[in-house]
Copies of this chain bind each other. A is one copy, B any other.
């Protein structure tokens, strides 16, 4: 069975809201093994909606609609579908009762057009709305299934999970489970990663392996199909092992894990504290760290040394260092990291100094960055980055490299 998701609403076409419903439904259809080949957005216009229905019927077995079930004049989804498949709309007494109860509870008086919300396609399975008034519907006509869901995500999402998805699964002959796992990599480009694991990606069958890139990070999604979720996951384990044997040194986490989360996990495991000195990042590293709850046991604090004056006043960087090597130098980076570490008696000190751009600095092109890392009584080192991209792209990726180098070190 394959499905098309059709979101109905002029506010989507006008770009007033993002179509999160399509993502939510697609994600959960994948879990139960239903393929989605197309998603469509159409406005509150019966003619164009019916055109979208015809187009979808030609290429999908299951049509899932969101939106247009409300009480107002421009809510026409179920009217249009009922007309298209030649069915009447009938009042659903259960829905009518809950609508009346809703108005009684909220002490508002019920207007005529609210009764419209209790109308359902005759012969359809009614999907209760536990968080609103408009019920959903699941109808079958000829070779096609039609599922109607409300537009507001807080109504649609629980309805789909609790009633919509189970209704679909009942219709599926064999429920083939689809399991998937995302491997996250950093420090390697998308094209290079793909080149390295090309032979694995090319053996596209089951499991499949798909690369995806976003700002310096690359992910590989491994997806396996099998009647047994357990076996599907075993298949994924094996594929993962195969991949990590080749590019394991760039791997840092699974699924939605961020580099910063992976770093904080390591720091708390090892009960280590951190102090930071930030020049071009100007606080971004610490701010992203503090975005995660429970960081206070690991983040001592730090300094933002945007000017050379601040580097000397706040981090006691020697004037000679700045005169001889400049602010964008390994020497400055290490002094910054070690001095801020001592200043706050932290276990680890990290510093970021470089050229965000667009102008060069001290003869270094934009994207030239030194990351200094010092550890109490242990190693001292610095990493040179030569990044391309806009000012803030450079700054954001510098923060990610900071997490990455700390992770590499703590991994030892």
- Closest chain-B Cβ to A99's Cβ sits at a distance in Å of 10
Cβ-defined partner of A37 (8 Å) among B29, B43, B304, B367: B43
Q: Within the assembled complex, what's the spacing in Å between the Cα atoms of A130 and B358?
A: 12
- The reply to whether the CB of A321 lies closer than 8 angstroms to some CB of chain B is no
Q: Which residues of B contact A190 (CB under 8 A)?
A: 70-72
A286 engages B282 (CB within 8 Å): yes
- From A23, A38, A131, A306, residue with most partner B Cβ within 10 Å: A306
With the chains together, A214 CA to B30 CA distance in Å?
Answer: 28
In the bound complex, do residue A30 and residue B18 qualify as a contact, i.e. CB atoms below 8 Å apart?
no
Contact with A304, one of B42, B70, B283 (Cβ below 8 angstroms):
B283
Query: A27 is contacted by which of B14, B284, B303, B367 (Cβ under 8 Å)?
Result: B14
Please encode chain A, from 92 to 105, with 1 for each CB lying within 8 Å of some chain B CB and 0 for all others.
00000000011001
CB atoms of B306 and A304 under 8 A apart? no
Binary interface profile of A, 48-83, with partner B (CB < 8 Å = 1, else 0)? 100110010001000000000011111000000000
**9 nearest CB pairs, A to B:** A283-B283, A15-B27, A301-B310, A15-B26, A282-B290, A39-B41, A284-B287, A283-B287, A283-B286
- Cβ of A130 and Cβ of B390 under 8 Å apart? yes
B-contacting 9-mer, from A138-146, A191-199, A233-241: A191-199
Verify A306–B301 contact, CB threshold 8 A.
Answer: yes
Is the CB of A324 closer than 8 A to any CB of chain B? no
A189, A287, A296, A302 interface centre (most CB from chain B within 10 Å): A287
Q: Is the CB of B282 within 8 A of A304?
A: no
Taking CB atoms and an 8 Å cut-off, the chain A residues in 340-372 that contact chain B are 343-344, 356, 358, 365, 367
Interface string of A309-352 (1 = CB under 8 A from B): 11001100000000000000000000000000001100000000
Q: How many residues of A contact B (CB 8 A)?
A: 113
Taking the closest CB of chain B, its distance from the CB of A2, in whole angstroms, is 10
A16 to B277, CA, bound (A): 36
CB distance from A117 to the nearest CB of B (A): 9
| Selected contact of A306 from candidates B72, B286, B293, B306, CB within 8 Å | B286
Give Cα A173 to B259, complex, Å.
49
Given contacts A38-B48, A391-B291, contact A18 B15 (CB under 8 A): no
Residues of B within 8 A of A127 (CB): none
Would you call A231 an interface residue if the criterion is a C-beta within 8 Å of the partner chain's C-beta atoms? no
Chain-B contact segment, one of A161-169, A264-272, A381-389: A381-389
Dominant SS among interface residues on chain A: mixed
Whether A39 contacts B40 by the Cβ 8 Å rule is: yes
Q: Kindly state whether residue A226 has any CB partner on chain B within 8 Å.
A: no
Contact A70 B18 (CB under 8 A): no
Instruction: Report yes or no: B296 in contact with A289, Cβ–Cβ below 8 A.
Output: no
**Complex contacts, A113 vs chain B, CB 8 Å:** 191, 194-195
Stretch at the interface among A118-126, A205-213, A243-251, A400-408: A205-213
Contact between chains at B15 and A23 (CB < 8 Å): yes
Smallest Cβ-Cβ distance to A368: which chain B residue:
B105
A154 contacts chain B at the CB level, 8 A cutoff: yes
Find out whether the CB atom of A28 lies under 8 angstroms from the CB atom of B15: yes
